[in-house]
Structure 1
Amino acid sequence: MTDAPIPGPIDPPARLLMGPGPISAYPSVLRAMSAPLVGQYDPFMTTTMVETQQLYRGVWATSNEATLLVDGTSRAGIEAALVSLIRPGDRVLVPIFGRFGHLLAEIAERAMAEVHTIETEWGQVFPPSVIEEAIVRVRPSLLALVHGDTSTTMMQPLDEIGAVCARHGVLFYTDATASLGGNEFETDAWGLDAATAGLQKCLGGPSGSAPITLSSRAVEILQSRKKIEAGIREPGDPSAPDAVRSNYFDLGMILDYWGPRRLNHHTEATSMLYGARECARVMLLEGRSAVIARHERAGRAMLEGLRALGLAVFGDVAHKMNNVVAVEIPDGVPGDVARAALLEDFGIEIGTSFGPLHGRVWRIGTMGYNARKDAVLTTLAALEAVLMRHGVAVPAGGGVEAATAVYAGAV
């Protein structure tokens, strides 16, 4: 017991989240999450789960029956995929071009894999030939590859990688947390066996639910590692060499929960389910290709606006994601102080970065609900004011003018 006063109700300040994620959620997603709860086996709950699976098949561009949600942030989806697909001692190849490749390698190591990595300079991506050479040399059972890495803003092309994996009998997993919904993504056409994401970026929701899709080949692996007896799941032997090293993230068990038998595994995060369903519904209602085009236009407008303010863009722009851009912080400008001014004076959040880019770049996102003209122009106008405050010579209105030209079709 303490004598501390009881705080008031939650009352967050108004923010325009223009960083690398999380972002401002679609209003309809927030409304959906406030809907009444029902029981875990209520017919409405089962119907909602089935609808959500079907909607995400459209989002992922797949016919995979095993398309569902993992309850948890995007990292929960990553961990579920890797610990469930990797058997102890499996060789796993992880090409690393940013911070989140290191994350995949760490999780694979925790799953007791023999992890092999290749690396390229931050701001670059891998040619398919380099990945194939590494596959031939390492002979992995699984390739784990980030699609879009927000730490560098780069997007690794995947369209040729699936064929490479198929030629060599390698399972193909990608982390699409930062890219799904705002960039081209073709699960079936690209030959992916597993892919995971989160809601908090281009899908326009809050962090806390991880969409995942699995090929029939991946499902076969999951089915081979589970134990069911008389319709009731029994605890596995944790010392068994083939046991999945997690109960909560055992995708074989989670698939049974989402499947027609609805075998008990955990209590579904009902409000997050509602929100995830709405994220997918909003995207497909607008049109999948239209949403990707909206992200491309907003990203291009932000890019041209930042260039017009005299800011240098980091990395290979030809491989930049639509939804986030990194710019070099001008000499003499304290990066964190300027970010704080944007937040305190304008209510706008942009991001810093990690590792070799810490303190060197700002990362500015245009994704989900915020991939729209007014959000882009407001951010550019506010950034111009902050830069001028720190003595940077910028053309008055230059950023807004350049972005407006993109929306007018002049660029």
Structure 2
Amino acid sequence: MSLPGPIDPPARLLMGPGPISADPRVLRAMSAQLVGQYDPFMTEAMNEVMGLYREIFATANQQTLLVDSTSRGAIEAALVSLLEPGDRVLVPVMGRFGHLLVEIAERCGAEVHTVDAPWGTVVPLEDIAAAMERVRPHLLAMVHGDTSTTMMQPFDGLRELCDRYECLLYADVTATLGGNPFPTDEWGVDAATAGLQKCLGGPSGSAPATFSPRAVEVIEARRSIEAGIRADGDPVTAHPIRSNYFDLAMIFDYWSPRRLNHHTEATTMLYGARECARLILETGLAANQERHLLHGNAMLAGVEGLGLEVYGDRAYKMANVVGVVIPDEVDGEAVRAAMLADFGIEIGTSFGPLAGRVWRIGTMGYNARKDAVLATLAALESVLRRHGVAVPSGGGVDAAYDVYGTAA
């Protein structure tokens, strides 16, 4: 075979639901030289990452760290470490990623129950409460923001429900962390996992996660199964964690001062995750959330300025992604292809019942900025015109400018 040339990706502006264009400062951090996994520089960087992500998650949890995987791997690590076979789990489902939680929990051997809402809406608290009363789950597993529908599930009242039924609360915050408020401790969340590739402004491949003392106690109880006895002398009745790589008890040890070897830390990804958090905190977490809200509002206004319909219940929309109903008269995939080929701009399609019906346009991380929003709206207008859609001339850009003018 002929030897391929060096990697030379085309210029792209990634304005879909993720991944997004990584912040150049994150990429520069990831080009730094490697050190050994027990080098003092490395272990101090790990400590710094723990501290930085406590601020990002708004938590005091000691066990705040990185899972060396994509965000899906961190979901699996949380669920496989928290769930034993036969545990009852309740999953409110409002989109594609609620179904993912169901699938992973079932693979853990859990008895999984769901409470569903139509796509484009969220699950009402009273429906969750009724299901909690019926199921009495060990774990309530939630998607905070589901990019398949762009909806963001409210968490108000969930801790009270979980306390009533002595239930743990898990949240997948992959799509929301950093760009939407998620006060882990204030909301009483026991476990939350994310990824770098959305509002945090980095590449996929490293997954920030945090675990409350309640969650840690459950995980630690499954640590010494082979010994058959707990530290206090009582017999062990828990099942072992059904994964080696995603065994959080061992990962906790690796991130502790003992540094008990579990795997070789993904040094380059650690550098990137560190820079993602450092950049957000340099300007302030609240300011970063406000930036996402501003540019998300500008994109939403611009979409409507083009005469397009916004998908879903706007009262519960994430700040960082807008769903756009594809006009009947156009081929949605042809429009996406033209945006990419002619302008180098990627927007997303959707899943399941929304496939072919909705575009998803993201304004998150490094791409939550004015020039990216205006360029995307101008390109979308041009492509729609060439596909025979009558859109107001300059309507998208002008509407976005109005948002920026008001904000100024």
TM-score tier (shorter) = over 0.9
Q: What is the alpha-carbon distance in structure 2 between the residues aligned to residue 410 and residue 274 of structure 1? A: 34
The code of the aligned residue for 2:283 comes to: E
Which stretches of structure 1, 4 residues or more, deviate above 3 A after TM superposition? none
2:160 matched to 1:151? no
1:196 to 1:400, Cα distance in 2 relative to 1, 3 A:
same
Give the aligned partner of residue 31 of structure 2.
34
Asked whether the 8 Å contact 1:26–1:204 carries over to 2, the reply is: yes
Asked whether the 8 Å contact 2:222–2:238 carries over to 1, the reply is: no
Give the aligned partner of residue 360 of structure 2.
363
2:321 matched to 1:324? yes
Q: What is the alpha-carbon distance in structure 2 between the residues aligned to residue 79 and residue 275 of structure 1? A: 22
Per-residue CA distance 1:45-93 (angstroms, 9 max, x = gap)? 0000000000000000000000000000000110000000001110000
Asked whether the 8 Å contact 1:95–1:145 carries over to 2, the reply is: yes
Q: What is the alpha-carbon distance in structure 1 between the residues aligned to residue 82 and residue 215 of structure 2? A: 7
In structure 1, stretches of 5+ residues that fail to align are 231-239
Per-residue CA distance 1:342-363 (angstroms, 9 max, x = gap)? 0000000000000000000100
Give the aligned partner of residue 219 of structure 1.
216
Give the aligned partner of residue 2 of structure 2.
5
2:306 matched to 1:306? no
1:91 to 1:275, Cα distance in 2 relative to 1, 3 A:
same
Asked whether the 8 Å contact 1:88–1:241 carries over to 2, the reply is: no
Q: 206, 209, 213: which is aligned to 1:209?
A: 206
2:404 matched to 1:407? yes
In structure 2, stretches of 5+ residues that fail to align are 228-236
2:260 matched to 1:257? no
The code of the aligned residue for 1:247 comes to: N
In the TM superposition, what is the alpha-carbon distance from 1:228 to its structure 2 partner? 9.2
Q: What is the alpha-carbon distance in structure 2 between the residues aligned to residue 162 and residue 374 of structure 1? A: 40
3-state SS of 1:363 partner? strand
Per-residue CA distance 1:293-325 (angstroms, 9 max, x = gap)? 000000000000000101001110110000001
3-state SS of 1:333 partner? coil
TM-score by length of 1: 0.96
Per-residue CA distance 1:245-300 (angstroms, 9 max, x = gap)? 00000000000000011001000000000000000001100110000000000000
Q: What is the alpha-carbon distance in structure 2 between the residues aligned to residue 174 and residue 184 of structure 1? A: 13
Q: What is the alpha-carbon distance in structure 2 between the residues aligned to residue 228 and residue 287 of structure 1? A: 43
3-state SS of 1:116 partner? strand
Q: What is the alpha-carbon distance in structure 2 between the residues aligned to residue 123 and residue 229 of structure 1? A: 47
Q: What is the alpha-carbon distance in structure 1 between the residues aligned to residue 149 and residue 282 of structure 2? A: 31
Asked whether the 8 Å contact 2:225–2:240 carries over to 1, the reply is: no
The code of the aligned residue for 2:32 comes to: A
Give the aligned partner of residue 25 of structure 1.
22
Q: 357, 361, 369: which is aligned to 1:372?
A: 369
In the TM superposition, what is the alpha-carbon distance from 1:164 to its structure 2 partner? 1.6
Q: CA RMSD in A?
A: 1.3
Q: 134, 139, 147: which is aligned to 2:136?
A: 139
In the TM superposition, what is the alpha-carbon distance from 1:159 to its structure 2 partner? 2.5
The code of the aligned residue for 1:10 comes to: I
Q: 83, 90, 93: which is aligned to 2:80?
A: 83
How many residues are matched?
399
Give the aligned partner of residue 388 of structure 1.
385
The code of the aligned residue for 1:400 comes to: V
Give the aligned partner of residue 348 of structure 1.
345
2:159 matched to 1:162? yes
3-state SS of 2:406 partner? coil
Q: What is the alpha-carbon distance in structure 1 between the residues aligned to residue 209 and residue 242 of structure 2? A: 19
3-state SS of 1:247 partner? coil
Q: What is the alpha-carbon distance in structure 1 between the residues aligned to residue 249 and residue 190 of structure 2? A: 15
TM-score by length of 2: 0.96
Q: Percent identity?
A: 70
3-state SS of 1:198 partner? coil
3-state SS of 1:211 partner? strand
Asked whether the 8 Å contact 2:225–2:238 carries over to 1, the reply is: no
2:8 matched to 1:16? no
Q: 291, 295, 308: which is aligned to 1:294?
A: 291
